[in-house]
Copies of this chain bind each other. A is one copy, B any other.
């Protein structure tokens, strides 16, 4: 089993029952498959406040379906456990009180096996509901189901991020996915693709894509671009080594003030999971354990501050999210949109045009995460899903090698704080023409 298979969820808001059912079952099964290599202990800890335990992800995604689909719809539905509403609500103030985020790692019970039962219980109820409900109910729950599926897909990526971080804290360096290294990436020259300025549209286009999108991807709207060029590929580990070797982490002139402060207080001297084997040699810790650096692979696990400093050092800049999306829309990407490179080897030959746009590493933009013009948060708890985080974070685009296939699209807006590094985030450069 590949733990990030190319499932293409039938996530169009108006999908049929059978399509949604298949997608639901595939998604729920994938989460369990992702947890399979992990012991009960592995699933329990929270290695930093930003992370959550694996079993918490398994339970929270289940709670999401229970709370937003079953409870409001199924008459006399009995929740699996009355404590779970408190334990597994993540951040929905409208739903009520919840267990403090920072204490998720203290919950040894319910255990991983019990969470498995919870998942089965809710799965059965959802499947029965999809199969048997009236058309009126179906129309009511369709969108919530699809949201729940996409929500669970997001947690699949978080689960892997969090496992990697947890394992990185263990001196014995456990490997999640075996220790066979991936084939090395080919060396690809950095070239540039130019785009003219002018007014263009970005944001989710319901009419042409007929797919699910999160609320923060709209409304589709016009933006005004200036002529720019964008790099054809992501920055590589070798290029990052060059930055380090040029004292990139020691020269404040490349850094934003807040970034420099982080460099100094956290003693950053390389990407998060790089480890020094000797004075001049680095390896990287990943889902396949500690491996020699592949010089041609995209650098990952850098913060926005590092990405910005690198771009300054290189005499370039990061693209805006409008530039990124416009590039993704207007060039031939040779089918990249449909393939995910995941933890699997990258095909040897890349597109001669833009490559690695989708599914390699989340790409930093220089755009802070703010609402699009005309955006209104939906009413109620679901309105908290995205909108309340619209401050202090930066937009990243394109998905990573651990983003579930089919979950990503070119209008997708991910967001992280500029100091965070545990996501698979990399760098593509841009510049004005």
Contacts and interface: CB of A to CB of B under 8 A. Distances in A.
Nearest to A223: B224
Contacts of A221: 226
B105 A105 contact: yes
Contact of A169 (B39, B103, B389): B103
B258 A392 contact: yes
Nearest to A110: B172
A418 to B, nearest CB: 6
A170 B388 contact: no
Interface string A297-311: 000000011001000
A42 B172 contact: no
B258 A106 contact: no
A374 B317 CA distance: 10
A348 interface: no
A370 interface: yes
B112 A41 contact: yes
B256 A111 contact: no
Interface in A258-279: 258-260
A373 interface: yes
Size bin of chain A's contact surface: 35 or more
Contacts of A255: 388
Contacts of A366: 370
Interface string A71-104: 0000000000001001100010110000100010
Contacts of A111: 39, 41
A44 B44 CA distance: 8
A103 B105 CA distance: 13
Interface in A361-410: 366-368, 370, 373-374, 388-392
A109 interface: yes
A147 interface: no
A355 to B, nearest CB: 26
Contacts of A110: 172
Contacts of A373: 226, 432
A374 B256 contact: no
B109 A42 contact: yes
A238 interface: no
Copies in the complex: 4
A116 interface: no
A257 interface: yes
A30 interface: no
A389 B257 CA distance: 6
A166 B105 CA distance: 10
A257 B221 CA distance: 26
A335 interface: no
Nearest to A366: B370
Contacts of A9: none
A45 interface: yes
Contacts of A388: 255-257, 260
A347 interface: no
Contacts of A99: 171
A253 B95 CA distance: 11
A291 to B, nearest CB: 18
11 contacts: A39-B108, A39-B111, A40-B40, A41-B109, A42-B109, A45-B45, A108-B166, A109-B172, A257-B388, A258-B392, A259-B391
